[in-house]
Amino acid sequence: MTELTMPKLSDSVADAVIVKWLKSPGEPFRRGDALLEVETDKATVVYEAETDGTLETILVPEGGTAAVGAPIAALAGAGPALPRVAAPVAADRANATPVARRTAVELGVSLHGVEGSGPGGRIGREDVVRAAASPTPLKAAASAAARGDVRVLVPTATQATIARRMAESAATIPSFTVSTDADVSQIVALRFGARAERGDTTPSLNDFVVKAAATALREFPRFNASWVSDTIECYSRINVGVAVATDDALLVPVVSDADTKSLAEIATETRRLADAARRRALHPAELQNGSFTVSNLGMFGVRSFTAIVDVPQAAILAVGAVRRAPVEDATGGVVFRDVMTLTMSCDHRVVYGADGARFLSRLRELLERPLVLAL
């Protein structure tokens, strides 16, 4: 008998929720068969069997949460037998999942006295949220009088993990921001002409930004790095994450080796990744190993914003909407150009203000000479 443990399906996963078991106890499977659906912080993914075997016993039911590496099922015929010893629960330690304990700390809720709805009365995240939202009679009366009825929204596992990672970033990264305006009139003109010939396959403005960022990262490798255990890790591969907003989450699929891809290849890849993200059909590998992130809210008319650095990366680029703005020309006259604001948030442990200014200056230069990116 061997154990099936919760797999690590993305860089940021600490625990995950089992959405559905695709095999029943006693049912055999072959290597590559789909065993279960798991909801991580990034997406709902299907985990495939790595060897032949039989699903003997399900240890974590559908809807249950388990930490990465924790046993979730017992398998037969899948390898050498392994003894399974249940971890004892101390008398003064509440029987709760790891995510429930973290949620209790975040919400200031004592786990003692919380009624668990999981197997054996184990406390889950939903139980903690429900306990935090249950006011005393006095509080309930005051709340009803002051703010009306309260509707409590329980975050999904994805939303809860995003919240935890953003809080971790804000609490641990000494960040700074730099911003600049880029004249993207030539890109707008190029795209206008190309759309008549290529239609929907024309690279988007954001594709130009991803290509420009990848090119700049090759020239400024310190931004393609992470702060890890009081050291700076610089990476040889440039993998640019592209933030995609879905109905209930923000996913960041990764364009691997973006510096080696042509503008057309980047356009094809980002279009495919964005579609998969909105359908929650991304493969775990497509969410891993990002070294830099581009987040664009221009489609919503946002002029500029400050993005939060995605741990453990060293920087993230926030892209605003294109707007018509008056610009002084070489003769001292005023002309209207297509201008876009770029704002970069950086980890001050890895790079400094002058570094950020030089990187952003090079990025602006590349965007203002788009033929360099297109060739």
Average pLDDT, the chain: 85
Tokens of residue 354, six digits:
């002058």
CATH number of the domain enclosing 61: 2.40.50.100
Closest CA to 243 of 209, 212, 194: 209
- For residue 93, being part of any structural domain is answered with no
- The predicted-structure confidence for 244-293, as pLDDT tens digits, reads as follows 988 777 889 999 999 999 999 999 999 999 999 988 888 888 988 999 99
Same domain, 244 and 105: no
Asked if residue 86 has pLDDT above 50, the reply is: no
Please provide the DSSP assignment of 50-65 as one string: SS-EEEEEESS-TT-E
| The pLDDT value given to residue 128 | 83
Q: Is the residue at 61 inside a domain?
A: yes
| pLDDT over 90 at 155, yes or no | no
**Secondary structure letter of residue 373 according to DSSP:** H
Distances in Å between the alpha carbon of 348 and those of 165, 176, 183, 191, 354?
18, 7, 28, 36, 11
Look at the chain and report how many structural domains it folds into: 3
Condensed to tens digits (0 to 9), the pLDDT of residues 305-324 reads 999 999 899 999 999 999 99
Instruction: Please tell me whether residues 178 and 298 are part of one structural domain.
Output: yes
One domain, residues 103 and 29: no
Q: Enter the tokens of residue 127.
A: 């139980």
Residues 229 and 130 in one domain: no
Give 239's pLDDT tier (boundaries 50, 70, 90): very high
**Residues spanned by the domain of 125:** 98-159
What b/e string do you get for 210-234 counting C-beta neighbours within 10 Å, with b at 16 or more?
Answer: bbbbbbbbeebebbbbbbeeeeeee
pLDDT at 34 over 70: yes
Dihedral in degrees, nearest 10, Cα atoms 156, 281, 374, 238? 70
d(CA 118, CA 137): 27
Active-site residue list: 348
- pLDDT tens for 221-234 read 999 999 998 999 99
Asked whether residue 82 is assigned to any structural domain, the reply reads no
Question: Model-level pTM?
Answer: 0.68
Q: Which residue has the higher pLDDT, 102 or 5?
A: 5
Residue 92 lies in a domain: no
Report residue 41's pLDDT band, with 50, 70 and 90 as the boundaries: low
Q: Which amino acid is at 122?
A: R
The verdict on 211 and 293 lying in the same domain is yes
Residue 88 reports pLDDT greater than 50: no
Residue 137, pLDDT > 70, answer: no
Residue 83 counted as domain residue: no
Contacts (Cβ under 8 Å, ≥6 apart) of 226: 232, 233, 235, 291, 312, 313, 314, 350
User: How much is the pLDDT for 201?
Assistant: 83
Amino acid 284: pLDDT: 83
Task: Evaluate if residue 89 carries a pLDDT over 50.
Answer: no
Nearest C-alpha neighbor of 262 from the set 107, 105, 374: 374
- pLDDT at position 141 is 54
Element (H, E) at 82: none
What is the share, in percent, of the chain residues with pLDDT greater than 90? 50
pLDDT at 363: 98
* Lowest-pLDDT choice from 99-103, 138-142, 252-256: 138-142
The maximal CA–CA distance of the chain, rounded, in angstroms, is: 81
**Which three-class secondary structure state does DSSP give residue 134?**
coil
